[in-house]
Amino acid sequence: MCGILAIIGNVDKEKVQQLSKRQKHRGPDEWGMYETPGGSVLSHERLSIIDLNTGTQPIQGTDTAWVMHNGEIYNHLELRKKKLKGHQFRTTCDSEVIVHLYEEYKYDFCNMLDGVFAFVLIDGQKFMAARDPIGVKPMYYGTDNDGNMYFSSEMKAIADQCSAMEAFPPGHYYTAETGFVKYFNPSWEDHRKCNKEYDPARLREALIAATKKRLMSDVPLGVLLSGGLDSSLTASIAQKLVRESGNVLHSFSVGVHPEATDLVAARKVAKFIGTRHHQILFGIEEGLEALEKVIWHLETYDVTTIRAATPMYFLSKAISDMGIKVVLSGEGADEIFGGYLYFHNAPSDVEFQKETIQRVFRLSTADCLRADKATMAAGLEARVPFLDKGFLQVAMSMKARYKRPDRENGVIEKWPLRAAFNVKDDPYLPDEILWRQKEQFGDGVGYSWIDTIKAHCDRIISDEEFAMASQEFPYNTPDTKEAFYFRKLFEKYYPEGHSIKTVLKWIPKWQKNTDPSGRAAEIHFDTTEKY
């Protein structure tokens, strides 16, 4: 994992280094740079995960091409042995296969990569940039008034340099000759082709396979464990796989009080599956003080993203301080299976299916953005098995009637996933966790966390100031004092119009209110949560 910065054109090398250091947190281990004879530059801030000794980037191919890559290519060994068996490799780093695939296939190779990636490749006067299918890894692109083109992992490196800037679209590559090309075109993108019958064994095997490949690492690895279904399944699968090799898996949870709902559930899971568990507590006042720094890292003003990212920010720092560089996380399951509580209100199977597809393709603006930037703020890499291409093909192709929840008839949200892992002879989870109601991460750390944020914003944003919201923020006008406050903090660091327009707000559908908290959904069970 790392932070990448590429400037295609003719730029000052010292300036490139200054801009690159704005995302040094993404790659604290080393820095590398390559400058073409024409003046274009690739700059790479590295977090060493694979090939600690020879994996310095940018990496040169067989001849004149160079690449830098943020992400992991899980099938790099298979590519070396088969499609690239005639190539001479300089490193054992997974990233190097990208430049050799370019040499072998020109631009038509992104679908051969199994993993997550944002990369820029330069070959003389030619260049190519690409982003993984779902946008697990971030990337932004823009141009300046001199015609130089910029690419970076985070927009803080380039926003004030560009006259125009946007988020690089997931599932696309870009070259000067072709413009943007959409290479990722899964059958399930068309809701009419989501017509497969439910096969619990196939679904279970696909998630186990997705998790297994994400254990690839030359450094210590752990798992984020909120106690919800998704992270608990990920932890349980990983623990079974790690136990086979005789290693110890560390699990981590976060909250404002030891008896917060997620922390209680996480302890039950950790005890059941046998991980070495760590519980991280943060103070609510500490969280409020961190909001500005969190928003600087996240590069968003979306309310639900910030609410959830703040606990994740504290958790990531604690994990990184323990010397662990890689964690597995459960992002994506709620989008794939319609797990958010508002999905109970879907008016039909067709509308349910369309919403899951749209949510998956918008993950790069929400949960993927949060998971990447909150963890990388501490130099920690998060891997997401649910967004594996193979698993997506199985899970997204399923008929909606198997996924759509119906509480009146006893069908809980994400039923197919729960049922697939309801294995009695060698259980993955205790029943009370396997069938636990969806609790959104920002809520589960302690209900007082979100309640206090709202009260805090109500105090510091006056009624008079909030009344001017549409004049001060005509684009994406905030509709609550909380959203207003977050927007003020965001524009302190990212005032450019193109920065503001990169943000897509997360809003629940088919719900009487637009509060993103799961507790705002009518279907949410009341609890005795006091913290």
Is 464 domain-assigned? Answer: yes
Is 525 domain-assigned? Answer: no
CATH number of the domain to which 152 belongs:
3.60.20.10
pLDDT of residue 517: 58
CATH number of the domain to which 312 belongs:
3.40.50.620
Residue type for 83, please?
K
Cβ neighbours around 474 below 10 Å, total: 8
Instruction: Give per-residue pLDDT as tens, 483-516.
Output: 999 999 999 999 999 999 999 998 899 988 777 6
Q: What share of the chain is helix, strand, coil (3-state, %, to 5)?
A: 45, 15, 40
463 & 437 share domain: yes
Rounded distance, CA 91 to CA 71, Å?
A: 16
Residue 524 pLDDT > 60? no
Per-residue confidence band for 410, with pLDDT thresholds at 50, 70 and 90 = confident
160 & 223 share domain: no
Last residue of a domain, one of 185, 209, 244: 185
Rounded distance, CA 475 to CA 463, Å?
A: 20
300 & 409 share domain: yes
Cβ neighbours around 393 below 10 Å, total: 14
164 & 193 share domain: no
Residue 48 pLDDT > 80? no
Rounded distance, CA 260 to CA 448, Å?
A: 9
Per-residue confidence band for 460, with pLDDT thresholds at 50, 70 and 90 = very high
Last residue of a domain, one of 153, 185, 217: 185
123 & 213 share domain: no
Residue 236 near residue 433, CB atoms below 8 Å:
no
Catalogue the long-range contacts made by 469-478 (C-beta closer than 8 Å, 24 or more residues apart): 475/500, 475/501, 476/301, 476/500, 476/503, 476/505, 478/301
pLDDT of residue 91: 92
pLDDT of residue 408: 84
Per-residue confidence band for 525, with pLDDT thresholds at 50, 70 and 90 = low
pLDDT of residue 31: 80
Pinpoint the alpha helices (H) of 250-331.
Answer: 261-273, 284-298, 303-321
Residue type for 228, please?
G
344 & 226 share domain: yes
Is 23 domain-assigned? Answer: yes
194 & 180 share domain: no
Instruction: Give per-residue pLDDT as tens, 93-123.
Output: 999 999 999 999 999 999 999 999 999 999 9
Per-residue confidence band for 223, with pLDDT thresholds at 50, 70 and 90 = very high
181 & 193 share domain: no
Pairwise pLDDT comparison (77 vs 440), residue with the higher score: 77
Pinpoint the alpha helices (H) of 377-480.
Answer: 389-396, 400-403, 415-420, 431-434, 441-444, 447-460, 463-467, 469-472
Per-residue confidence band for 519, with pLDDT thresholds at 50, 70 and 90 = low
Residue 237 near residue 199, CB atoms below 8 Å:
no
| Residue owning tokens 């998060």 | 382
Rounded distance, CA 142 to CA 140, Å?
A: 7
Instruction: Give per-residue pLDDT as tens, 26-45.
Output: 987 778 888 988 889 999 98
Question: Dihedral (C-alpha) 286, 290, 291, 296: value to the nearest 10 degrees?
Answer: -170
pLDDT of residue 351: 98
Is 527 domain-assigned? Answer: no
Q: Which of 41-45, 429-433, 443-447 has the highest mean pLDDT?
A: 429-433
216 & 354 share domain: yes
Determine what percent of the chain is predicted with pLDDT higher than 70: 94
Our separate counts of H helices and E strands in the chain read 21, 17
Is 529 domain-assigned? Answer: no
Residue 527 pLDDT > 60? no
pLDDT of residue 361: 98
Taking residues 65-69, report their average pLDDT: 95
Q: Which of 2, 162, 194, 457 is catalytic?
A: 2
Last residue of a domain, one of 185, 200, 231: 185
pLDDT of residue 478: 97
Rounded distance, CA 55 to CA 94, Å?
A: 8
pLDDT of residue 66: 96
Taking residues 249-278, report their average pLDDT: 95
Helix (H, G, I), strand (E, B), or coil: what is residue 177?
Answer: coil
Is 6 domain-assigned? Answer: yes
Is 409 domain-assigned? Answer: yes
Is 275 domain-assigned? Answer: yes
Residue 189 near residue 357, CB atoms below 8 Å:
yes
Lowest mean pLDDT among 290-304, 460-474, 504-518: 504-518
Return the half-sphere exposure (C-beta side, CA atoms, 13 A cut-off) of residue 15. 12
Instruction: Give per-residue pLDDT as tens, 149-162.
Output: 999 999 999 999 99
162 is catalytic: no
Taking residues 403-416, report their average pLDDT: 92
Lowest mean pLDDT among 189-198, 241-250, 310-319, 337-346: 241-250
179 & 208 share domain: no
Average pLDDT of the chain to the nearest whole number:
93
Per-residue confidence band for 307, with pLDDT thresholds at 50, 70 and 90 = very high
Token output for 458: 């109500």
Residue 436 pLDDT > 60? yes
Pick from 49, 136, 29: nearest CA to 93: 49
User: Exposed, middle or buried, 245 (CB in 10 Å: 0-12/13-18/19+)?
Assistant: exposed
Residue 1 pLDDT > 60? no
Domain that holds residue 24: 2-185
Determine what percent of the chain is predicted with pLDDT higher than 90: 82
Pinpoint the alpha helices (H) of 301-388.
Answer: 303-321, 333-337, 349-361, 367-376
181 & 194 share domain: no
pLDDT of residue 440: 59
| Residue owning tokens 């684009």 | 475
H-helix or E-strand containing 246? Answer: none
Per-residue confidence band for 520, with pLDDT thresholds at 50, 70 and 90 = low
Q: How many domains does the chain have?
A: 2
pLDDT of residue 89: 93
Report the DSSP beta bridge partners of residue 381: 326
54 & 155 share domain: yes
pLDDT of residue 443: 65
